[in-house]
Each structure stands twice: as C-alpha cells, then as structure tokens.
Structure 1
Amino acid sequence: MSEAPIQHPPDIYGQVLKVALPLLVGAIFLIVWQIVVTTLGVPKFVLPAPTLIWQALIGNFWSLMGSLWFTLTVTVEAFIAAVIGGVALAVLFAQSRWIATAFFPYAVILQVTPVVSIAPLIIIWVGYDNVRLALLILAWLVAFFPILSNTTLGLRSTDHNLRNLMQLYGASRWRVLTEIQFPGALPFILAGMKISGGLSLIGAVVAEFVAGSGASTGLAWRIIEAGNRLDIPRMFAALGLLSVLGILIFGVMSLIEYLALRHWHESAVRREN
C-alpha cells in the first residue's frame, strides 16, 4: 500500500516577509529622503521632497492617469505582437535550420540597432498623423528579440531521444512540436516574455521621447513637458508611475510563470528542505 505524499504547510511567514521587507526598505528610504531634503533646504527644482511629489501626483492625477493608460496600451500591444511574432518565427527556425541561417542575422541586426537612431525614420514612414503606430512599431522592435531567441533555444533544447522516438512511431512534425518541443520550451518562452515585458515598456518610453513635443500623450511626454517647465515634482511623479508600471508588468509575468510551471518544473516546484 503506497504512502500518501507529505503535505507541506504553506510558509505564510516567508510570503509575508517577501512583501513586507521591500516595503519597509522603501519606506525608510522615503523618510530619509524627506529628512535630508528638508534639513539641507534643497531647492525643489533640484530634488523635491517626497511630500511635494505626492502633492504633484494628486494635483495632476487625471492627466497622469490618462498618460499612464496611453503608455500602458502601447506597451501591451507591442508585447502581444512581440510574443506572437517571436514564437511564430522561432517555430519556423526550429523546423528548418536553413530558414534560421537565412533570417536570424537580420533579427540580430534589429536587436542591436539603437531605437533612437531609427525612430525618426519610422515616424516619417508612418506619418506624423499616425505617431501611435510608430510608437507601437518601435516598442515591438525592442521587445521582439528576447522572445525569438529564448523560444528558438527552448525548441532546440528538447531531448533528441524523445523526438527520435516520436518520429520512429510515425508522429508528424506537428505532434512532435505540440507534444514534445513546445512543452519543453515553455520555461524558455516564459523567461523571454518576462524580459520582453520590461523591454516593451522601455521601447514605448524611448519612442515617446524621440517622437518629440506633442506627438504623444504618454508618460514620457509628461516627463519632457514637466522638465521644460522646471516642474520637477510632477516629473518625479511621472517617473514614479513608470516605475510602478514596470514593477506591475514584471509581477504579472512572474505570476504567469509560476502558475504555468509550479506543478512540474524545477524552477517553480517548492523544495522539501
């Protein structure tokens, strides 16, 4: 008679500590920041106090939220396009080494080419009346390569013995891909998505900077606008929202990775000791 598996109680203390400790460090940092700026009398156009930044956030709440929504939608759309395009192209690369040899160098060229250098050209091509599409293309260019590279590596890293066994029993390429290669590549794909999520936000922000004044209404333009007016508290408020957005994207991708891998992959399975 087989023994029942040992059930380990959830480590509630450890989970609470993971959240509380970073929040405590952040609170201490803000308190020290407030004390130093107030004590030394640092001008607000050099380094505003956290209380002034909070006031700027509340005073410009709806305009900043609208800009946050604009940046978020561009980021999400570019990320989704990068996932679809990167995974699809990686499947082709995994199925044919000739296709990979022919096209992978061009993917590398897109990755190493600075977005700042090609952004004006993209904006001219799509037209100044459709700058949002240009921002989307530029953010996609930044986010695309990690998905492609990680997925290609994952599909090629599948156990060749399993693939040979499937082919020996007459399995089609599609069955080998969906039942062996793709499940084995899932950790690689999710790791690429975690990287790509942050890069898509970076690409959207950089593209907004390059697009210039009034070309968009995202958070990057709010930062430029506040800087031109020396409204540094509002600039810091927009920067803070960008940081929160980046943390949120990373957290969502980490949660998806955990939920997808927690029952079977070593990176997410809880250790017994």
Structure 2
Amino acid sequence: MRSAQAISILAPVLLGIVVLALWQGACRLWHIPPYLMPSPSDIAAALWHDGPALLHALLSTLEVTFAALAAAVIGGVLVAFLLVQSPLIERCLMPYVVIMQVTPIVAIAPLIIILVKTTPVALTLCAALIAIFPVISNTLQGLRSVDPDLAAYFRMYKASRLQTLFRLRVPSALPMFMAGLRIATGLSLVGAVVAEFVAGTGGNSAGLAYEILQSGFQMDIPRMFAALFLITVAGLALYGATAGLQRAVLRHRA
C-alpha cells in the first residue's frame, strides 16, 4: 500500500522533472529568446525577482477565490434544499439554474462589474456564478439518492420534512456534496482569474490576472509565466486540500 502511494506521488514528480529538463534543453539548444518562450530558469529568475509583487497578487486572487467558494457552497446548498422539496419547484427553477450555468461568464461579467460598484464584490459574484452549478447539481442528486427502505421507515414514523431532510437526506448527500465541492474549488479559482481579466483592476487589490495582462503589455513573458505558475500551484494546493477534506469527512463511510 505504501509503495503504491509512493509511486503515485513520485511518478508525476519525475515526469515533471523530465519535462522541465527537456524544456530547458530545447530553449538553450535552439537559442529561443525569452520573449517567445522563456526557459524554466528564466521563469524561476522572474519569480525570484518579482516574488513579493506576485505573491501579493496571488493573495488578492485567493481572497476572491475563497469568498466565491463560500458563496457558491452556501447558495448552492440552499438552492438544492429548495429544489428537493417539491417537483413543481424544481421544474420551475431548474431551467434558470441551467441558463445561469451555460451563459458564458465573460458575456455577463462586464454588466455585473458595472452594476455592482464594489469591485471585490463584483469579482466574487462572477466567480461564484461559475462555481455554484456543481454544488447545486451534486447536492441535489445526493439528496435524492436515499435508501428507499430508510425513506419508507421515516414515512412510517411520520417524520417531518425537516427531520427527513437533516437526518436522512443530508447524510446520504454528503459524498455527492463533497464531490461537488472538489469541482467548485477549482472553478472558484478559474472564475476569480476570469473575472479579474474582465475587470482589469490594478492597484493594491490587483490579482494575478492583472499581473499577466501587464506582463503581456510589457512583453515580460518570463514574468507572465511566473504568474501562471503561481496560479497552477494554487490550483493544485486547493485540489489537494479539498481531496484531503473529502477523505477525512467520508472516512467513517469506508
């Protein structure tokens, strides 16, 4: 078991080292200029030189990400609770939930940013709209996936709607909810970056998307790749944290 876990960790790490070595070698062998394709060493130098500014931008992006994730989880769970109460409510509201999901956020983000005067709130709302659908769909599916025998048992003892919801449906929905949370975590980061691209906000609250835009305007491609690297690392860290939380919460079900 431990050897399998070690292999699952070492294999992608070794593959990444090989890819970086080939990338570095290709850039040096063919003398590719950094403004076309920076080498890993150029990216590392940019990350070292501009580290404080990029880390500050990363924190700004993560603030929007966590706020959007919290809004998506709370809003998504409440909507799922509402939809599961009645087939009529679901038929009335579910089409609007789907419309909200299939509408490109880049099309409505400018309108949201104009209507919502506070930029951080507007960015959070845009990111939450991207992340909320998997929470709604997975939680709703989990709330429906109850054991028929247990449901009949609750009906036999005349349990109220609230008792059935919190003592039967919510525990049954927990695995599906955690799966939706894992998806929503990554989408919150994506939504935060997309919203920052659309808003193009600078200053002290500038996120990594603004740093990427500025680096592109200034043709500072190594710095652009350094910002992209930080987004990737943040995404992997959030995914790992959510996966660990999922294992911890569902451990008693194994």
- Tell me if TM exceeds 0.5: yes
CA displacement 1:51-95 (0-9 Å, x = unmatched): 110010010111001000000110011001101110111011111
> Which 10-residue stretch deviates more, 25-34 or 163-172?
163-172
Q: Which amino acid aligns with 1:165?
A: Y
Larger Rg: 1
Q: Match for 1:58 among 35, 41, 48?
A: 48
Distance 1:261 1:195 in 2: 17
Residue 172 (str. 1) matches residue 157 (str. 2)? no
Match of 1:73 in 2: 63
Q: Which amino acid aligns with 1:23?
A: V
CA displacement 1:88-132 (0-9 Å, x = unmatched): 1101111122221111111111101100001111111012xx211
Residue 233 (str. 1) matches residue 237 (str. 2)? no
Q: The residue matched to 2:252 in structure 1 has which SS?
A: coil
Shift of residue 262, structure 1, vs aligned partner: 2.3
Q: How does 1:165-244 map to 2 (within 5 A)?
A: 165-212=153-200, 214=202, 216-244=205-233
Match of 1:13 in 2: 3
Distance 1:144 1:54 in 2: 35
Q: Match for 2:37 among 24, 44, 47?
A: 47
Q: Unpaired runs of 5+ in structure 1?
A: 1-10
Distance 1:40 1:213 in 2: 38
Q: Which amino acid aligns with 2:152?
A: N
> Which 10-residue stretch deviates more, 210-219 or 95-104?
210-219
- RMSD of equivalent CA atoms: 1.2
Match of 1:151 in 2: 139
Q: The residue matched to 1:45 in structure 2 has which SS?
A: coil
Distance 1:176 1:146 in 2: 23
Aligned residues: 253
CA 65–207 in structure 1, closer or farther in 2 if over 3 Å, else same: same
Match of 1:247 in 2: 236
CA 151–32 in structure 1, closer or farther in 2 if over 3 Å, else same: same
Distance 2:104 2:70 in 1: 21
Shift of residue 170, structure 1, vs aligned partner: 2.0
Distance 1:179 1:159 in 2: 12
Distance 1:263 1:47 in 2: 49
Distance 2:201 2:139 in 1: 38
Q: How does 1:30-41 map to 2 (within 5 A)?
A: 30-41=20-31
Shift of residue 161, structure 1, vs aligned partner: 2.5
Q: The residue matched to 2:36 in structure 1 has which SS?
A: coil
Match of 1:163 in 2: 151
Residue 118 (str. 1) matches residue 122 (str. 2)? no
Q: Which amino acid aligns with 2:211?
A: R
> Which 10-residue stretch deviates more, 85-94 or 231-240?
85-94
Match of 2:12 in 1: 22
Q: Match for 1:259 among 232, 248, 253?
A: 248
Q: Which amino acid aligns with 2:229?
A: G
Match of 1:5 in 2: none
Shift of residue 213, structure 1, vs aligned partner: 5.1
Match of 2:81 in 1: 91
> Which 10-residue stretch deviates more, 95-104 or 46-55?
95-104
